[in-house]
Amino acid sequence: MARDPFEDKPGFSLGNYGFIVVAVILAIVAAAELFLIFRLPPENQPPAVSQTETDPAPSSPEPSSPAVPEDWRLILVNEDNPLPADYEIHLATLNNGLEFDERAIGFLERMISDARDEGLFPVVASAYRSVERQWQLYENKIMRLMGQGLNREEAEIEARKVVAYPGTSEHNLGLAADLVAYSYQHLDDAQGDTAEIQWLYEHCWEYGFILRYPKDKSHITGVIYEPWHFRYVGQPAAQEIMEQGLCLEEYLANLEKENELVADPAAWQDLQK
């Protein structure tokens, strides 16, 4: 009788043989998985973290310098700088129905109130004007000048000396107000001699306002002397402008020079020494 060749071999059985086969199969599967993992394309593998990402080298410090940010209070509007097309105006209403920039109207009201506490009576004769309203004033002035014998071209030239071209008036900006004495409501040079305007000359900077068109600055502003025209620029700028006898154009030109200095680190460091 034939005998099973594995029958008398101790520790060896068909069961053990099956276990070995299963183990071999599992090893093959594991090896295949490892092969696939290490064969993944780079985009499917986690990115390596570089030393610069986890521990960047310290950069050399930049020189400290004063920041001169863009400031809505210092927007320049004149013949060469028309009102920006995307400028958004948010208005509030004064007691007399005129409108002013809502961010600055409180300063204007306080200035008028404090003047009245001193026994003076300044009146806001004009404040915000829409560009459409400015067109009406501009065209009306041209028509009056043409009625005096000027042709259209001559009338336009003369009109721009006293009425700003639409879009170039600070009244379109909402930050300018024409202030006059209650007892003398005329827009002429004599307005500057009234007690109300004299008080405003001395104190307007305390509320962030300046006399926008001084007597000796017409060659810079391009506008005649207007003792009644006050512009809100914020208290820090107003104090410097009024104390130094500047117009807004000069003040902004000085700021631009400071910005150029700030842009040159070497020059700024020299200044700091």
Say what the pLDDT of residue 270 is: 59
Instruction: Report how far residue 249's alpha carbon sits from residue 260's, in angstroms, rounded to the nearest whole number.
Output: 17
CATH of domain 76-129+170-262: 3.30.1380.10
pTM of the model: 0.70
Query: Per 3-state DSSP, what percentage of the chain is helix, strand, and coil (rounded to 5)?
Result: 50, 10, 40
Strand stretches in the chain, DSSP E? 91-93, 99-101, 122-126, 176-181, 209-213, 226-232
Say what the pLDDT of residue 42 is: 41
Say what the pLDDT of residue 259 is: 81
Say what the pLDDT of residue 38 is: 45
Active site residues: 226
Contact status, residue 199 vs residue 120, Cβ threshold 8 Å: yes
Instruction: State the 10-residue block means of pLDDT for the chain, 273 residues long.
Output: 39 48 56 48 38 34 39 94 92 98 98 98 97 95 97 94 91 97 97 98 98 96 95 98 97 90 63 56
User: 138-155 burial, b if ≥16 CB within 10 A, otherwise e?
Assistant: beebbeebbeeebeeeeb
What one-letter code names the amino acid at 29?
Answer: V
Instruction: Report how far residue 98's alpha carbon sits from residue 173's, in angstroms, rounded to the nearest whole number.
Output: 14
What one-letter code names the amino acid at 41?
Answer: P
